[in-house]
Amino acid sequence: MSVKGKRVGFIGGGNMGEALIRGLVGANLVKPTLITATDVRAERTKQLAEQYGVTAHADNARCVRDADVVILAVKPQIMAEVVREIAPAVEPRHLLISIAAGVATATIRGALGKDARIIRVMPNTPALVLQGATAIARGRGLERDDLATAQEIFGAVGRVVVLDEQLMDAVTGLSGSGPAYVAIVIESLADGGVNMGLDRATALTLATQTVLGAAQLLAETGLHPGALKDMVSSPGGTTIAGIAALEEGGIRTTFIRAVERATQRSRELGRGPA
């Protein structure tokens, strides 16, 4: 089924929920009158209602009853509690989509106490500017077009891939946490520019645009990152000297370990408190 004409409910009105609302409304996929969002903060529900024209309140069960597609946009630490709260309102007609890091569909089913159509999704924060990277997990018990519906929703805020659920923790470690890694790269490049005499604002502008431009070049041309590196690296030149310094600092191993540690943490979150 397409999401068009469907009622969409967001349990959780935080940054990611808002990004998806903005994407769905901006792409004319779902009318604001068909969207409901919940949040425990009254000022947040007021802001969402006024800015996007959606219905917003604090009643999670009511949100589920008023929706066809329910997006569970809450922190993994409170997912079980929220799912138990909405369980009486969940019916076979509902498609549930969870964006909680580390929380398996089996865990959500367990908290529901009954079977349901559940899709696990891992988006990332660039969805806020419609440049998200989202992985969608294949799941059991889905109807024929459920995955297509999820792809349509998250395609409104960026690029989408479909994977087996066993790979979702690795996705969390890479693209879910990745924007923070890239932010450190940008900040460090800017620091290097300041160290060499540039003012802070200029250095940050150059660093941000350099990362943005390099990423867009790779995305649009399909170049391997190594090929772009070689394009910029002249024999005996400035770039290869800088790359040598990065390799001395173990940059590749450090990034690999960052993804590994974040993946492990995602698995820990999925197991819940010890």
* pLDDT tens digits for range 168-199: 999 999 999 999 999 999 999 999 999 999 99
Judgement on whether residues 18 and 144 belong to the same structural domain of the protein? yes
Domain containing residue 134: CATH number: 3.40.50.720
121-151 burial, b for 16+ CB within 10 Å, e for fewer? Answer: bbbbbbbbeebbbbbbbebeeeeeebbebbb
Q: In the listed set 165, 197, 221, which residue is the last one of a domain according to the structure?
A: 165
pLDDT, the chain, mean: 94
pLDDT surpasses 70 at 142 = yes
Q: Which domain, by its residues, includes 18? A: 8-165
C-alpha 45/C-alpha 36 separation (Å) is: 10
| Residues 70 and 11 sit within 8 Å (Cβ to Cβ) | yes
pLDDT surpasses 80 at 20 = yes
Judgement on whether residues 133 and 203 belong to the same structural domain of the protein? no
Judgement on whether residues 84 and 123 belong to the same structural domain of the protein? yes
**Based on the number of CB atoms within 10 Å of its own CB, is 240 exposed (0-12), middle (13-18) or buried (19 or more)?**
middle
Q: Which of 22, 262, 7 is nearest to 158 (CA)?
A: 22
Judgement on whether residues 152 and 83 belong to the same structural domain of the protein? yes
Helix (H) or strand (E) holding 120: strand 117-122
| Residues 231 and 238 sit within 8 Å (Cβ to Cβ) | no
Q: How many domains does the chain have?
A: 2
pLDDT category at 271 given cuts 50, 70, 90 is confident
| Residues 74 and 12 sit within 8 Å (Cβ to Cβ) | yes
C-alpha 112/C-alpha 135 separation (Å) is: 23
Q: In the listed set 165, 187, 205, which residue is the last one of a domain according to the structure?
A: 165
Q: Which of 25, 106, 114, 36 is nearest to 69 (CA)?
A: 36
Average pLDDT over residues 246-254: 96
Q: Is residue 172 part of a domain?
A: no
pLDDT above 90 coverage of the chain, percent? 89
pLDDT category at 273 given cuts 50, 70, 90 is low
The two tokens of residue 242 are 């800088």
pLDDT category at 1 given cuts 50, 70, 90 is low
Question: Quick one: pLDDT at residue 272?
Answer: 67
Q: Is residue 3 part of a domain?
A: no
Segment 43-80, tens digit of pLDDT:
999 999 999 999 999 999 999 999 999 999 999 889 99
105 to 58, 111, 113, 119, 176: CA distances (angstroms): 24, 10, 12, 7, 18
108 to 38, 63, 64, 124, 239: CA distances (angstroms): 19, 18, 15, 21, 49
pTM, whole model, 2 decimals? Answer: 0.89
- Looking at residue 102, the DSSP 8-state letter turns out to be T
Domain containing residue 235: CATH number: 1.10.3730.10
Q: Report CA dihedral (44, 46, 48, 49) to the nearest 10 degrees.
A: 160
Judgement on whether residues 187 and 90 belong to the same structural domain of the protein? no
pLDDT above 70 coverage of the chain, percent? 99
Q: Is residue 274 part of a domain?
A: no
